[in-house]
Amino acid sequence: MDSPEILFLVRWLHVLAGIMWIGLLWYFNFVQTPMMAKIPAEQKGAITGHIAPQALFWFRWAALFTIIFGLLLAWLNGYAEETLMLGVGTMNPNFTLLGFGMWFGLIMAANVWFIIWPNQKRVLGLVDADKDAKAKAAKMAGQASRINTLLSIPMLFAMVSFQNYSYPM
């Protein structure tokens, strides 16, 4: 399918979901997490009981929709296989760039759904866990979130480079 209107809509939804996802990722890692140590204990419940669960809701669904719309966009454009294979055999660096971005995004989304969210449910008390289990879950979620923050930089570079690199497709 090469309808410009459909491609535009899917690309726009991919970018919109991605902005929400990475924006929340950076909010957690550069704002909320560093500030938690400075918030008085009696006020932390406002974050852990209200703000964090809502932010994590949008965070995980933005991750999923970013992936769905990104894969759909690659499929609609006819290069899903080439990019997922990192451009091997195509001699086209565009597919390699986009492929790295896609794989970083897939790894990051897996971290969100299979490491960060299950552990955050323990930390926030949405799932029963004792004090030690909560501490271990907080450490695990934090590590995965920091890994995602680091992966977001080359992922964004690859995605933007794909759109702006002048190698003929």
The number of beta carbons lying within 10 Å of the beta carbon of residue 74 is: 21
Look up tokens 């008085």; give the residue. Answer: 40
Amino acid symbol at 36: M
Please give the model's pTM, rounded to 2 decimal places: 0.89
- Maximum C-alpha span of the chain: 59
pLDDT per residue as tens, the chain (169 positions): 568 999 999 999 999 999 999 999 999 999 999 998 899 989 988 888 899 999 999 999 999 999 999 999 999 999 999 999 999 988 888 899 999 999 999 999 999 999 999 999 999 999 999 999 999 999 999 999 999 999 999 999 998 888 776 665 5
